[in-house]
Structure 1
Amino acid sequence: MEKLLNRAKDIKIIFFDIDDTLRVKDTGYMPASIPQVFAALREKGILTGIATGRNLFGVVPEIRALNPDFFVTANGAYVADGKGQIIYDKPLPETVVTNLVTWLERSDVDHVFYGSDAVVASKWTDLMSDAITPVYGKLSVDPDFYQTHAVYQMLTLSEQDDQLVLPDNLAKQVRMVRWHQHSSDIVPMTGSKAEGVRRVLEQLRLSVDNVMNFGDELNDVELFDLGGLSVAMKVSHPKIMKMADYITDTVENDGIEKALKALNIL
């Protein structure tokens, strides 16, 4: 613990996942301690950021109201500061999106497109509703969205999602990351929250030793690998629990506040 406390002294910026980290995904519950934490960090001169698989459309009002300094969204593909200035903007190549749509349609797999500030479904089904509604509510439907908008990542929706295998022509360019029993993120091969956070650190001229990350799911793996201090929530995926420097309590039990106090950051 002494080593962790020494490392915590170097923290200058903290990134937070949203779902089951800042708020409960299924209910939207966010404890009163969260706004207090952000205000206290601001008073201490510690910067804050959101690092999420959601895009800006999915950053709900109560999270925006925390006034974080940075938004790393769409698993690192779209990064902006708190004033809306874009730091990093890397949509999937148009040919890759077209090939993904062709493969998914041939495989009879429904899908979701992530624009910079829109989330659109190819079709709205009960399976789609079960996975997506707790995160985004009901989505608009436009199977041709990708033809007129930049796409930063996609989601698969299938009863056999765990059996989907990318064809060879796509497997070299994108990868799938499970986040739900019926759905996976499709992100660039080199894309991750870590890439987005790295861009913020470069702009601030900070090192990885200056960053702390809170997360719970597999799309936090690269972020936890990046360096700095990593804190997993009590409900985290087992792989994330093993990677974490520190494991804290659940959202409902003020896990973030407890961790920051235990590490003498607050």
Structure 2
Amino acid sequence: MTKKILFFDIDGTLYDHEKKLPESARRAIMAAREKGHLVAIATGRAPFMVGPVLEDLDVDTYICFNGQYVVHKGELIHGGIIEPDVLARIKEKADRDRFPLIFMADREMVATETGHPHVGDSLSSLKMPYPRASETFYMERPIHQALLFCTEQQEQEYAEAFPEMKFVRWHRTSTDILPAGTSKAGGMQRILDREGLTMSDAVAFGDGLNDIEMLEAAGVGVAMGNGHEEAKKKADYIAGDVSEDGIARILDQLKLI
């Protein structure tokens, strides 16, 4: 098989339901690399949240913040930001609605308030601690992504009020906020360009709503059996559950190992 570049989401794709990387997945990905394929990460997580999986898989090419932050072989090649004036307007509305926000920089995330149950609930699903709080952090550091904590129904009002932004739900109490047009697929294209490859050379693995664009764009899109139904509709293949050797089995099925 010709060389492919394999883009893996983390949560629900590489990480199982306990937020651990199954040994079967690690071995299979190493075997794919030995076959000559390239391995990259494509996640909604921040750079400071992906160190363990990069180390476990010996990866230095990755997409964070759903395409806002792209590193190729250890070099930052794209760092998209959300303009402070836009963040200020979003925060003004969220403050009125009494919805907390998190602002995410490359090395830290900061909440607008402490102790909110929606923040604690969603971050605990990622095994992440509650961050410190600050009212001014978004004015002090480049912000690549924000999180709004509200219900799916409440989110619609923000999507209508801020058409220049994109809202992608990842938890029942939280949604990502990104500039419109941002996606993991865009990050993939930047890496493929550096490698002299095309989307037909890409194989994407994901499970969530923020994976849909890359599953559609890649030459082969694989949704996990435990994934969101909308992601599965856009995939070329459905793998097994992440906790049931889903990655190892689909890599074998696709003859990538």
**TM > 0.5 fold call:** yes
For 1:180, the equivalent position in structure 2 comes to 171
State the superposition RMSD in angstroms. 1.6
Unaligned runs of at least 5 residues, structure 1 = 1-8
Corresponding residue number in structure 2 for 1:6? none
Runs of 4+ in 1 over 6 A off after TM superposition: none
Residue 149 (structure 1) aligns with: 141
**Quick one: distance in 1 between partners of 2:161 and 2:118?**
28
In 2, are the aligned partners of 1:15 and 1:51 still within 8 Å (CA)?
yes
Residues 125-134 or 213-222, more deviating: 125-134
How far is the alpha carbon of 1:196 from its aligned partner? 0.7
State whether residues 159 and 167 of structure 2, in contact with CA within 8 Å, keep that contact through their aligned partners in structure 1: no
CA contact (8 A) 1:11 1:212 kept: no
Uncovered stretches (5+) of structure 2, i.e. residues with no partner? none
Q: Quick check: 1:112–1:154 contact (8 Å CA) kept in 2?
A: yes
Q: Does 1:259 align with 2:242?
A: no
- 1:10 is displaced (CA, Å) by 4.6
- One-letter identity of the residue aligned with 1:203: R
The separation in 2 between residues aligned to 1:162 and 1:205, in whole angstroms, is: 42
Indicate how the Cα distance of structure 1 residues 28 and 143 shifts in structure 2: closer, same or farther if over 3 A, else same.
same
The CA deviation string for residues 98-137 of structure 1, in whole angstroms up to 9 with x for no partner, is 2211121122110111111212211231221111123122
Q: Determine the C-alpha separation between the residues in 2 that align with 1:10 and 1:226.
A: 19
Partner SS state of residue 141, structure 1:
coil
Question: Could you tell me whether the CA contact under 8 Å between 1:153 and 1:185 is conserved in 2?
Answer: yes
Instruction: Deviation per CA, 1:15-67: give whole Å up to 9, x if none.
Output: 00000100125x22221112212321221111111000001112141443211
Letter in 2 for 1:75: N
Matched, 1:39 2:30: yes
CA drift of 1:169 comes to: 5.7
Aligned-partner Cα distance in 2 for 1:152–1:176: 14
Counterpart residue number, 1:5: none
CA distance in 1, matches of 2:141, 2:118: 25
The letter of the residue matching 1:188 is P
Cα distance in 2 for partners of 1:169, 1:22 equals 35
Letter in 1 for 2:92: T
The whole-number CA distance in structure 1 between the counterparts of 2:56 and 2:173 is 31
Aligned pairs (5 A) from 1:1-266: 9-10=1-2, 12-25=4-17, 27-83=18-74, 85-124=75-114, 125-135=116-126, 136-158=128-150, 160-164=151-155, 165-166=157-158, 170-171=162-163, 173-266=164-257
| Percentage of identical aligned residues | 32
Q: Distance in 1 between matches of 2:53 and 2:256?
A: 23
What one-letter code is carried by the residue in structure 1 that aligns with 2:41?
I
**Residues in 2 aligned to 1:22 and 1:102: alpha-carbon distance in whole angstroms:** 37
Corresponding residue SS for 2:187: helix
TM-score (norm 1): 0.90
Aligned residues: 254
